[in-house]
């Protein structure tokens, strides 16, 4: 009865357009009330507080602040210049520049929404001047922005590591996402070369320009080396690395590039606080819901049902893909990771599926959900930036969806794409 009450109320609240965090919290409270054995609202509050009481989660506000500083500090423009000199003369050059810039920017900010805002505001108008196709150009930015959630540092990977109860380290999941993230980017470039071939016209392979633009972008890209290298080498934890990232971003934005003033810092801190509060509310509410589902043995029941269908790890992963692609269209990424990781975890372990491989596959599925209606965050943010609508953009998104799904299937079927790098560097 508790599980039925929780699921039905959650679906109804989503259908009524209640914000996801509140829908999760209310549905969880109703599920607890339906279980006479539990102490009601007090338990929900306790579980929400316990869910965010994690040292690892401290990395999220720090990485958010570092991303905001880098995004406002002129980093996007320098990365665009670097990408332009690398791939600008290729077929569909401006589209490839946009995708490569999103990959580079993602490795700095770790946020898909930040990539849509920062890169989209520059590149969509530039591409519109070449082909006058706002829906297509916006679709390119929206899908490319998700690569930043796979290429480290990535906030959602920190949340996945926490959801596994420490079984997966942040360093390992960071490294596991690098190759799949690049794979998604290359797949999107291949599609862009076909559907947007008239957007070429970059600077090309000029050695002088390459050296100049690389020199301007290296200080920003060095943050990735410092953060990821320090974590993998064991010099500092992910949380400590996030604090170092903020200090580095402050020095870079205020002292080197000088595009952020001291007077702008309070507004950036306030924005960071607002974004962090949204994330933490989602984490707390989702943790409470995951606890009540575990109390009702839902993971075990679903795991048994899946294992009755097949005991082949590949088949199970494909079934999980189908489920997560559907779930990603209606549930935001953070609660989805917190809810479904514990549900599928027993199945993953029983079949010998590597937790790193499963984590990357899970996140790749949800990245596609960010670009799909009815609740795709990047989709609607892109519509606002590109001055277009979802119905106009959807036909243009279809080939990019196909590219992302193809990269997902390849990653699912070839575990070494996720495992080779962490193992080579001794992180797994």
Q: Is residue 410 part of a domain?
A: yes
pLDDT tens digit sequence for 199-254:
555 445 667 778 888 888 888 888 888 888 888 888 888 889 889 989 988 888 88
Range of 92's domain? 39-424
Q: What angle do CA 178, 183, 188 make, to 5 degrees?
A: 130
Q: Is residue 9 part of a domain?
A: no
pLDDT of residue 81: 82
Q: What angle do CA 75, 105, 113 make, to 5 degrees?
A: 105
pLDDT of residue 206: 67
Average pLDDT taken over every residue of the chain = 87
Q: Is residue 317 part of a domain?
A: yes
Q: Is residue 3 part of a domain?
A: no
Q: Is residue 33 part of a domain?
A: no
Tokens representing 280?
A: 């933490």
Q: Is residue 17 part of a domain?
A: no
CB contact burial 122-155 (16+ within 10 A = b; e otherwise): bbbebbbebbebbbbbbbbbbbbbbbbbbbbbbb
pLDDT of residue 40: 66
pLDDT of residue 330: 81
Q: What angle do CA 327, 382, 402 make, to 5 degrees?
A: 50
Tokens representing 227?
A: 């953060």
pLDDT of residue 205: 62
Which residues of the chain, if any, have pLDDT below 70? 36, 38, 40, 197-206
* Contacts of 197 by beta carbon, 8 Å cutoff, 6+ apart: 91, 92
pLDDT of residue 418: 96
pLDDT of residue 140: 93
pLDDT of residue 34: 82
pLDDT of residue 36: 66
Q: How many domains does the chain have?
A: 1
Q: Is residue 21 part of a domain?
A: no
User: Per-residue DSSP letters for 334-356?
Assistant: HHHHHHHHHHHHHHHHHTT--HH
Q: Is residue 23 part of a domain?
A: no
pLDDT of residue 198: 61
d(C-alpha 183, C-alpha 311), whole Å: 28
């Amino acid at each position: 009865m508790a599980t039925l009450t929780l699921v039905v109320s959650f679906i109804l609240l989503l259908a009524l357009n209640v914000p996801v965090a509140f829908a999760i919290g209310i549905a969880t409270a109703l599920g607890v009330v339906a279980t006479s054995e539990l102490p009601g609202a007090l338990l929900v509050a306790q579980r929400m507080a316990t869910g965010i009481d994690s040292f690892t989660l401290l990395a999220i506000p720090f990485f958010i602040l570092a991303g905001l500083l880098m995004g406002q500090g002129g980093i996007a423009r320098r990365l665009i210049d670097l990408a332009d000199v690398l791939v600008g003369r290729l077929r569909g050059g401006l589209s490839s520049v946009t995708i490569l810039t999103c990959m580079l920017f993602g490795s700095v900010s770790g946020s898909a929404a930040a990539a849509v805002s920062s890169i989209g505001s520059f590149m969509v108008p530039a591409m519109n001047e070449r082909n006058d196709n706002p829906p297509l150009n916006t679709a390119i930015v929206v899908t490319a922005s998700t690569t930043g959630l796979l290429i480290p540092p990535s906030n959602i990977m920190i949340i996945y590591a926490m959801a596994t109860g420490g079984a997966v380290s942040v360093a390992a999941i960071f490294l596991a996402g690098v190759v799949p993230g690049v794979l998604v980017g290359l797949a999107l470039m291949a599609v862009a070369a076909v559907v947007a071939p008239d957007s070429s016209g970059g600077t090309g392979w000029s050695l002088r320009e390459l050296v100049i633009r690389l020199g301007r972008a290296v200080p920003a890209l060095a943050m990735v080396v410092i953060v990821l290298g320090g974590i993998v080498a064991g010099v500092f934890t992910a949380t400590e690395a996030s604090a170092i990232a903020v200090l580095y971003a402050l020095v870079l934005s205020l002292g080197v590039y000088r595009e952020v003033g001291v007077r702008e810092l309070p507004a950036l801190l306030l924005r960071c606080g607002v974004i962090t509060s949204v994330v933490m509310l989602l984490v707390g509410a989702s943790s409470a819901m995951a606890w009540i589902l575990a109390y009702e043995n839902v993971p075990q029941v679903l795991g048994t049902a899946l294992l009755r269908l097949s005991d082949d790890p590949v088949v199970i992963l494909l079934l999980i893909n189908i489920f997560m692609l559907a779930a990603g269209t209606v549930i935001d990424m953070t609660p989805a990771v917190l809810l479904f990781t514990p549900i599928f975890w027993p199945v993953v372990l029983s079949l010998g599926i590597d937790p790193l491989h499963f984590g990357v596959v899970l996140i790749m599925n949800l990245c596609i959900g960010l670009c799909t209606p009815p609740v795709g965050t990047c989709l609607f943010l892109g519509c606002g930036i590109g001055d277009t609508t979802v119905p106009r953009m959807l036909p243009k998104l279809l080939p990019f969806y196909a590219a992302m799904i193809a990269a997902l299937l390849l990653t699912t079927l070839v575990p070494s794409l996720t495992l080779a790098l962490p193992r080579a560097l001794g992180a797994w």
